[in-house]
Amino acid sequence: MLCFRATSARIALTVAASLTLGATAAWADLELPAPSPAAKVAQRVGITDISLEYSSPAVDGRKIFGSLVPWDKAWRTGANSPTKITFGREVRFGGADVLPGTYAIVTIPSEKGWIVALNKDLSINVTDHTYDAKDELVRVKATISAIPHRERMLFVFSNTKDDETSLDLEWDKLKVSVPIQVDTGAHVAGSIKTTLDNAWRPYAQAARYLAEKKADYPGATVAIDNSLALKSTWLNNWIKADILHRQGNHAEALKFAQIAKDLGDKDPNFYYKDQVTKALSDWHKK
């Protein structure tokens, strides 16, 4: 009888524990609306991508500026965690040069005007309205204007053109704006140059595939000659040498292998050096 009672007690405890664990798991899966939901906004300006992540608090009947958000104190510009902005290329933020990267936005609201700062510390904590500016990158003055009531804080990019946009913060009855400029002309010129400088690569890749996988030497020759016509590099000269060698033309293969070796010795990324050097030695014997 005692054994039966002890066994029953153990079963009861196991069931209770299972129910408790089940309830814990259920609570862990429960989703409810956040008081300040996460938000994202992104904008391409010319060929520069800019994005921003933040949490969006509501007015909820409260006095915002000068109370919930005190005047003349640093503010993380949102709720929950620092607001982060990411620039895909260099920009001018409020007239200040900023390199590509992700930065925390810290604002200093004032009745006389707002300061907007970019800080390299993405985990910066300004919830107690203290602010350590040691990792601050830039600080700029923002433009302030009145707007109709907006219940939830919102970031938006406005007046976007090929080389500029405006980052606007809207909340309650206030809009804070910072202009962002990008040198789209220079970015496009750089993109064109990079594309043209690397135009030889697809032909070289095609030539290698045709030679190694398909044994299509005529097709590979056409592709590699197109690559070499665009730019002579150690890699496409080596592919040319390999194609010639596969066809038994060792004299011509040696010539292009030597060119590849000479160019490769000047390149820190000459990752086929051992292979090219061995081929020169082996092919000389044929």
Edge-first strand listing for the sheet containing 96-98: 96-98, 91-93, 164-181, 143-158
- Going along the chain from its start, the domains and CATH numbers come out as 38-183 (no CATH), 198-284 (1.25.40.10)
For residues 260 and 113, give the distance between their C-alpha atoms in angstroms, rounded to a whole number: 63
Count other Cβ atoms within 10 Å, centred on residue 198.
Answer: 11
Residue 135: CB atoms within 10 Å = 13
- Mapping DSSP onto H, E and C, the string for the chain reads CHHHHHHHHHHHHHHHHHHHHHHHHHHHHCCCCCCCCEEEEEEEECCEEEEEEEECCECCCCCCECCCECCCCCECCCCCCCEEEEECCCEEECCEEECCEEEEEEEECCCCCCEEEEECCCCCCCCCCCCCHHHEEEEEECEEEEEEEEEEEEEEEECCCCCEEEEEEEEEEEEEEEEEECCHHHHHHHHHHHHHHCCHHHHHHHHHHHHHCCCCHHHHHHHHHHHHHHCCCHHHHHHHHHHHHHCCCHHHHHHHHHHHHHHHCCCCCCCCHHHHHHHHHHHHCC
CA–CA distance, 262 with 93 (Å, rounded to integer): 46
Could you tell me the mean pLDDT of each successive run of 10 residues in the chain, 286 residues long?
Answer: 48 51 64 91 98 97 96 93 96 98 97 96 81 93 97 98 98 98 97 95 98 97 98 98 96 97 98 97 87
Residue type, 255: K
The β-bridge partners of 103 are: 85
What's the confidence (pLDDT) of residue 149?
98
Radius of gyration of the chain (CA): 32
- Give the Cα-Cα-Cα angle 23, 12, 6 (nearest 5 degrees): 155
β-bridge mates for residue 140, sequence order: 116
* Bridge partners of residue 154, in order along the sequence: 170
d(CA 211, CA 247): 10
Q: Which residues are within 8 A (CB) of 43 and not within 5 positions of it... i.e. 6 or more apart?
A: 49, 50, 51, 157, 160, 165
pTM: 0.79
Here the tokens at position 223 are 């592709």
In terms of C-beta density within 10 A (0-12 exposed, 13-18 middle, 19 or more buried), how is residue 1 classed?
exposed
